[in-house]
Chain A
Amino acid sequence: MSILVIAEHDNAALKAATLNAVGAAAKIGGDIHVLVAGQGAQAVAEAAAKVAGVSKVLLADDAAYAHPLPENVSPLVVNLAKGYGHVLAAASSEGKNLLPRVAALLDVAAISDITGVVSPDTFERPIYAGNAIATVKSADPIKVVTVRTTAFEAAAATGGSATVETIAGTGETGSAKFVGQELTKSERPELTQAKIVVSGGRGMQSGDNFKLLEALADTLGAAVGASRAAVDAGFVPNDYQVGQTGKIVAPELYIAVGISGAIQHLAGMKDSKVIVAINKDEEAPIFQVADYGLVADLFKAVPELQQAL
């Protein structure tokens, strides 16, 4: 059976998440087709055709698909799905919005956010916020699956030569209307929202030295935080504080600079996905939670790190 992957795009370019979904499809095995539903999305379809492993691209170009409204897109996918064994999309806000709607219309279960493919009908997925991994088997004729993009290698963006087939749309339902979109600007993000946080501790020695961290943060598009010791010492204002009595953060990447790692601080950042510690004291407790520890003088290491990025 073939696999239908729903492309994610902005009508101009194919989003990287789609490549991970294609990567997951390759693990399942079978012919991989990609659906591009958009308006004026010819370029997206052409890009999708070049993705390694894709054999066919279906392009539904219609004003109804100018924005990925699930009310309009789901009937299109449902019509196509009957010819496929799997329908896949990235477990992005777009994929999660669309695919359960498709599954219900097909009267099949949806399988969310898979992190592993055991066999074509059996998948691994995290439950309880990733504190357990469930292996689930679907008995449905069509498997409707969203894919955790970080768990699958992206398919190569080039090397494929799929055909592009234009298909008709299914029209507008009219029940939902796109009003507007506001994408976050790239100013330094808010501490609790940031994907990357750079934090300084007592080891920074002065408020002035936080400029080093701010420069690094700006390079990374990160927010700047601090330990309580740094706040108590008056280096930075109170609202920088990460920890039990400060802000709780869980970014993708947390870089602790000159922070010893008191438990109160760890309580505020231990759920970060990747933790980096830079400290000259090799016995600092922060190294016990850090994925990557660098024993070094921060005044040398931080500018060097910024240079290297």
Chain B
Amino acid sequence: MSNDTLITGRPDFATAVLAPIHAIVGDRGLITDPGTMQPFMESWRDGWVGRSPAVVLPDSTEALAAVVRICAETRTPIVPQGGNTGLTGASQPHADGSEIVISTNRLNRIREIDIDNDTMTVEAGCILANIQNAARDIGRLFPMSLAAEGSCQIGGNIATNAGGVQVVRYGNMRNLVAGLEVVLPDGRIWDGLRGLRKDNAGYDMKQIFIGSEGTLGIVTAAVLKLSPLPRATATALVAVSAPSDAVDLLTRAKGVAGDRIITFELIQRDCIDVARRHVPDVPDPLRDRYPWYVLVELADQDGGNRLMEMLEGILEAGMEAGEVLDGVVAASKAQADSLWRIREGIPEGQKREGVSFKHDVSVPISRVARFLDRANAALERECPGIRPFAFGHLGDGNIHFNPIQAEGGDPAEWKAKLATVNAIVHDIVVDLGGSISAEHGIGRLRIDEMPRYKSPVELDMMATLKRAFDPHNIMNPGKILRA
């Protein structure tokens, strides 16, 4: 649709759109006061700020579908929003005030827990941490775990195919969903809440919506797969001299511990410094400074001491082989939590550190070291003084490559280099067979880079899919793909 039919240009918006929506959701389900709407308009990081005439908070799938039907009939564009913790500008409205926000905040019931089937049926607005806790209460694990878990909602996790810190063991969101309920852009409800491990009756429609960033429909509920709750975990922070040694250690660990490895995070020293500078109680547990660190965690059903011995064995062998320079092993859960604070403090610390150029990239694990070497060298050539800053999920080949402006440099000057830096980094990534978005998605952040890195065939398939589901382009327009 062209912009002239959008809300701001629509004199009868109040009567044709807002009033019928109000009739469905009532006072509690509609916010139009700018102050109260503000949290829905902006991102917690990276400065995405939008405008909207209304935030709608339906409290049932039926109500949400009815609202979407009104939007479809009046061609009113919609921005679906969960916990609003995304990092690509996908969940905030555009600045022109042309879209209404539909929030899943009030769709927050856990509908069913099926222990024998190891599944849980939840509504989209359930906060991830609440789902984790509900699973834990029945002795199960819902393994999706990421920094925003206390605020992000499962609907958003599904819409963005979230990753996080345990993907190496449990896979990303795509692997954790058994069924979905979706409201389509025309307001129809698709009930695909099937808790099946096997279902080959036609196309796997749920996978179309997972990772679609709200551009094909609004996820309103999901059947999630649960895992056994590990009884024991063993956590260590070890120092290595280079990412290639970390990769060697990962290979060694896989050989011994197999899928007991639930986390294998690579952390550059500078990341620890930044976290410690801005976040309280981030430890620096090794006596000396080393260029790179690995946070590794094993988990097992056996609650005994065997797992700790296994971890110590791997690390000792790594030390003898020269892969590991030093390390600490958490003697208690308190110490393990404290080590995790390092990893969790990095995004928070970086946010407060100054202008940085964020990249959420993946390459085959075997090429992570080469990627880091090439990208850092190329950046230093083009942007002298830029400070390398990398951490991430080595076990998945997913690196958060977020170099920071030169110390004391003019922020405005550095901000202007954004496109240059992105192109340098992403060209190398794609050259190494990697992806420009490993887990955060495209949203608006990477939308203009899609044509450069995706083949015409792939772009055409995506556009065809979008047209098929959303012919009037009212569902989260201007995200992932330009109309």
Contacts and interface: CB of A to CB of B under 8 A. Distances in A.
A adjacent to B, CB under 8 Å: yes
A251 to B, nearest CB: 17
Nearest to B106: A283
Given A232-B44, A244-B150, A245-B345, A263 B129 contact: yes
A205 B348 CA distance: 22
B150 A264 contact: yes
A263 B152 CA distance: 10
Nearest to B130: A263
B341 to A, nearest CB: 8
B446 to A, nearest CB: 24
Interface string A271-301: 0000000000001000000000000000000
B151 A245 contact: no
B280 A267 contact: no
Contacts of B279: 245
Given A232-B44, A245-B345, A283-B28, A263 B151 contact: yes
Contacts of A283: 28, 106
A202 interface: yes
B81 to A, nearest CB: 15
B278 interface: yes
A239 interface: yes
A262 interface: yes
Interface in B238-263: none
A229 B151 CA distance: 12
Contacts of A30: none
Contacts, number: 32
Contact of A238 (B106, B130, B281, B352): B352
Contacts of B352: 238
Q: Is the interface of A mostly helix, strand, loop or mixed?
A: helix
Interface in A234-280: 238-239, 241, 244-247, 262-267
Contacts of B150: 244, 262-267
B280 A247 contact: yes
B461 to A, nearest CB: 38
A267 B149 CA distance: 12
Contact of B151 (A202, A238, A241, A264): A264
Interface string B27-43: 01000000100010000
A267 to B, nearest CB: 7
Contacts of A202: 39
B266 interface: no
Contacts of B127: 263
A286 to B, nearest CB: 13
Nearest to B148: A264
A238 B150 CA distance: 19
A49 B272 CA distance: 61
B344 A245 contact: yes
B345 A262 contact: no
A239 B280 contact: yes
Nearest to B45: A232
A284 to B, nearest CB: 11
Contact of A262 (B35, B151, B278, B344): B151
Pick the most buried of A246, A247, A262, A267: most chain B CB atoms within 10 A of its CB: A262
A245 B149 CA distance: 12
A263 B39 CA distance: 16
B379 to A, nearest CB: 29
A246 B352 CA distance: 14
A264 B352 CA distance: 18
A45 B333 CA distance: 49
A244 B44 CA distance: 16
Contacts of A246: 280
Interface in A198-257: 202, 205, 229, 232, 238-239, 241, 244-247
B348 A245 contact: yes
A143 B130 CA distance: 46
Given A202-B39, A263-B127, A263-B150, A238 B278 contact: yes
A189 B44 CA distance: 30
Contacts of B149: 263
Contacts of A266: 150
Nearest to A267: B150
A283 to B, nearest CB: 7
A283 B125 CA distance: 14
Nearest to B36: A281
A202 B280 CA distance: 21
A238 B149 CA distance: 21
A232 B44 CA distance: 8
Nearest to A281: B36
A241 B44 CA distance: 15
A262 B127 CA distance: 9
A208 B279 CA distance: 24
Contacts of B35: 205
Nearest to A247: B280
Contacts of B130: 263
Pick the most buried of A229, A239, A247, A263: most chain B CB atoms within 10 A of its CB: A263
Pick the most buried of A205, A232, A265: most chain B CB atoms within 10 A of its CB: A232
A154 to B, nearest CB: 36
Given A202-B39, A245-B279, A263-B151, 18 more contacts: A229-B39, A238-B352, A239-B280, A241-B280, A244-B150, A244-B344, A245-B344, A245-B345, A247-B280, A247-B281, A263-B127, A263-B129, A263-B130, A264-B150, A264-B151, A265-B150, A266-B150, A267-B150
- 4 tightest A-B contacts by CB? A263-B150, A264-B150, A263-B129, A262-B151
